[in-house]
A and B are shown apart, each in its own frame.
Chain A
Amino acid sequence: MIEVKNLCKSYGDKKAVDNISFKAHDGEILGFLGPNGAGKSTTMNILTGYLSSSSGEAYINGHEILENPIEAKKEIGYLPEFPPLYMDMTVKEYLYFIYELKGVKLPRNTHLKEICELVKIDHVYNRMIKNLSKGYKQRVGVAQALVGNPNVLILDEPTVGLDPKQIIEIRTLIRKLGKNHTVILSSHILSEVQAVCDRVVVINQGKIVADDTADNLSNALTADHKLIARIDGPREEVIKVISAIPGVVSVLADMQREKGVWEYNIEAVEGTDIRRELNRRLAARNWYIMSLRSSELTLEDIFLRLTMGESVDEFINKKASDLDDDGEDEKE
Chain B
Amino acid sequence: MRAIFKREVSAYFNSLIGYIFLAAFFAASGVLFGITSVTKSPTDGLLYLTTDMSGMYSILFFALLVLIPILTMRTLSEDKKNKTDQCLLTAPISLNALVLGKFLAAFMIYSIGVCMTLVYAIVLNFFAEVIWLEVLGNVVGLLLVGAAFISVGVFISSLTENQVIAAVGGFVSMCALYLISSIAAIIPIDWIKNILMKLSFADRYYRFTYGIFDFSNVLFFISAAVIFLFLTVRVLERRRWTNS
Contact = CB atoms under 8 A, between A and B. Distances in A.
B92 A70 contact: yes
Contacts of A100: 2-3, 6
Contact of A70 (B86, B94, B242): B94
Contacts of A89: 7, 10, 14
A170 interface: no
A328 interface: no
A19 to B, nearest CB: 18
A76 B90 CA distance: 8
Interface string B75-90: 0000000111111111
B240 A93 contact: no
A88 B6 contact: no
Nearest to B7: A97
Contacts of B168: none
B11 interface: yes
Contacts of B83: 80, 82, 84
B89 A50 contact: yes
Contacts of B15: 88
Interface in A72-89: 73-74, 76, 78, 80, 82, 84-89
A99 to B, nearest CB: 8
A49 interface: yes
B92 A80 contact: no
Contact of A101 (B4, B85, B240): B4
B3 A101 contact: yes
A73 B90 contact: yes
Given A50-B89, A74-B92, A100-B6, A86 B243 contact: no
Given A11-B243, A51-B243, A88-B15, A98 B6 contact: no
Most chain-A Cβ atoms within 10 A of its Cβ — which of B15, B92, B241? B92
Given A11-B243, A89-B14, A97-B3, A84 B93 contact: no
A127 interface: no
Interface in A100-132: 100-103
Nearest to B83: A82
A43 interface: no
Given A49-B90, A84-B86, A101-B91, A11 B242 contact: yes
A225 B156 CA distance: 61
The DSSP consensus for interface residues of chain B is helix
Nearest to B2: A100
B90 A86 contact: no
A138 interface: no
A5 to B, nearest CB: 19
A204 interface: no
Given A52-B240, A89-B14, A97-B7, A80 B86 contact: yes
Nearest to B4: A101
| Most chain A CB atoms below 10 A, which of B11, B82, B90 | B90
A87 B90 contact: no
Contact of A87 (B6, B82, B91): B82
Given A51-B243, A97-B3, A84 B92 contact: no
A86 B94 CA distance: 20
A101 B242 contact: no
A186 interface: no
Interface centre among B87, B89, B241 (most CB of A within 10 A): B87
A71 B4 CA distance: 19
B93 A101 contact: yes
Interface in B220-244: 240-243
Contacts of B82: 84-87
Interface centre among A87, A97, A101 (most CB of B within 10 A): A101
Contact of A86 (B84, B86, B240, B242): B84
Contact of B84 (A49, A74, A84, A103): A84
Given A86-B11, A88-B14, A89-B14, A50 B240 contact: yes
A191 to B, nearest CB: 28
A97 to B, nearest CB: 5
A144 interface: yes
A51 B7 contact: no
B101 to A, nearest CB: 10
Contacts of B11: 86, 88
Contacts of A159: none
Interface in A271-298: none
Contacts of B6: 97, 100
Nearest to A84: B87
Contact of A93 (B10, B84, B87): B10
Contacts of A50: 86, 89-90, 240
A182 interface: no
11 contacts: A11-B242, A48-B90, A49-B240, A50-B86, A50-B89, A70-B94, A71-B92, A74-B92, A78-B87, A80-B86, A88-B14
Interface of A: 11, 45, 48-52, 69-71, 73-74, 76, 78, 80, 82, 84-89, 93, 97-98, 100-103, 144
4 closest residue pairs by CB, A with B? A84-B87, A100-B3, A73-B92, A101-B3
